Amino acid sequence: MGKTGKTKITGIGSALVDLLINENDAFLESVGKEKGGMTLLEDGAEIERILEKSGRKAEIVPGGAACNTIVGVGMLGGEAGFIGMRGEDGYGVSYEDELSKCNVACRFFLSKEPTGKVLSVITPDAQRSMFTFLGASTGLAPESITPDMFEDTAIAVVEGYLLFNRDLMKAVLRAAKTAGTRIALDLASFEVVEASRDILDDLIKEYVDILIANEDEAEAYTGLKEEDRALEKMAENVEYAVLKIGKRGSMIAHKGTVTRVDPVIAEDAVDTTGAGDLWAAGFLYGLANGFSIEKSGRIGSACGAEVVRVVGAQIPDEGWSRIRKIVA
């Protein structure tokens, strides 16, 4: 993939501030939340009500699926860009500043609406359950997305959450495809897949080159529980199909061949927030720079292992040092 001369990876998605709290399973039940996945909220005040019920102080960090991936690319030393919409509030300014510090070239549209937020409730088993208020991020207009935004891009990373705004998703896919950019779609959550069943097959067949899913998302998309069959189904209309299988590693299908990548085990895992996003960062960075599928997968596994060792999706400097040794 790196042979095109382009190595830049551009993400487009929701600019969302992550609010992180640790809670138990009983708390999730008390707020009516099934463990795992994402619940979309119409009102940002609902997040405040859940935080008040918890009584815990939230840790605040930049987030959003595509953003997490792009920050990972930038921290790996790759050429990285992000397109999104933020509020003109303090959260939004801080968000953009943090991305710039991570070597990400930002292209933000501004909104009078508050910057979007995601409350991640982290249970003792390190699983995270998300409540999402999209806020300003929903204001990104389809007509504002043009092919020139992707002209210098090798891979466009599109988060599955954009499927909640179908016109915007279609505009993004058309613009990236017109620019001749490979498109990577991360299915994001099984709720996204279930809500988009009626259009997902056609969009993937027409636009997507790299399809990424975890076990729940793959089952929701293919209707198949057995991993080999689910991956085979995912690979029917794309160049690369990726199935992330947690602590057992990953499976990558390309041109009829399946590459199995062993996991990097983090014995001290505390939070799975961003694990899939950072796995994608390592894998796509590898592909964009012409590495083998196996090496790209190893970099992805290393990124995923480092991020679960901390709360949130921000890998500390010592983690990036360990990852860069694998890249080298």
Convert the pLDDT of each residue in 110-132 to its tens digit.
999 999 999 999 999 888 898 99
Residue 188, amino acid: A
pLDDT of residue 2: 46
Please check whether residue 233 is in contact with residue 217, taking contact to mean a CB–CB distance below 8 angstroms. Answer: no
Q: Which residues of 47-61 are buried (b: 16+ CB within 10 A; e: fewer)?
A: beebbeebeeebbeb
Average pLDDT over residues 76-100: 94
328 — pLDDT class (breaks 50, 70, 90): confident
Phi, psi of 197 (to 5 degrees): -55, -35
Per residue in 168-214, pLDDT tens? 999 999 999 999 999 999 998 898 999 999 999 999 999 999 999 99
Topology (CATH) of 7-15+62-114+139-327: UDP-N-acetylmuramoyl-L-alanine:D-glutamate ligase (3.40.1190)
Quote the CA–CA distance of 68 and 37 in Å, as a whole number: 17
Quote the CA–CA distance of 247 and 262 in Å, as a whole number: 9
Q: In the numeric block, which tokens belong to residue 21?
A: 């709290």
pLDDT of residue 37: 76
3-state secondary structure the chain: CHHHCCCEEEEECCCEEEEEEECCHHHHHHCCCCCCCEEEECCCHHHHHHHHHHCCCCEEEEECHHHHHHHHHHHCCCCEEEEEEEECCHHHHHHHHHHHHCCEEEEEEEECCCCEEEEEEECCCCCEEEEEECHHHHHCCHHHCCHHHHCCEEEEEEEHHHHHCHHHHHHHHHHHHHCCCEEEEECCCHHHHHHCHHHHHHHHHHHCCEEEEEHHHHHHHHCCCCHHHHHHHHHHHCCEEEEECHHHCEEEEECCEEEEECCCCCCCCCCCCCHHHHHHHHHHHHHHCCCCHHHHHHHHHHHHHHHCCCCCCCCCHHHHHHHHHHHC
Examine the pLDDT at 87 and tell me if it is beyond 90.
yes
Examine the pLDDT at 3 and tell me if it is beyond 50.
no
Quote the CA–CA distance of 66 and 70 in Å, as a whole number: 6
Phi, psi of 104 (to 5 degrees): -105, 125
Per residue in 206-263, pLDDT tens? 999 999 999 999 999 999 999 999 999 999 999 999 999 988 999 999 999 999 999 8
Examine the pLDDT at 63 and tell me if it is beyond 50.
yes
Quote the CA–CA distance of 136 and 151 in Å, as a whole number: 26
Q: Where are the domains of the chain?
A: 7-15+62-114+139-327
pLDDT of residue 4: 59
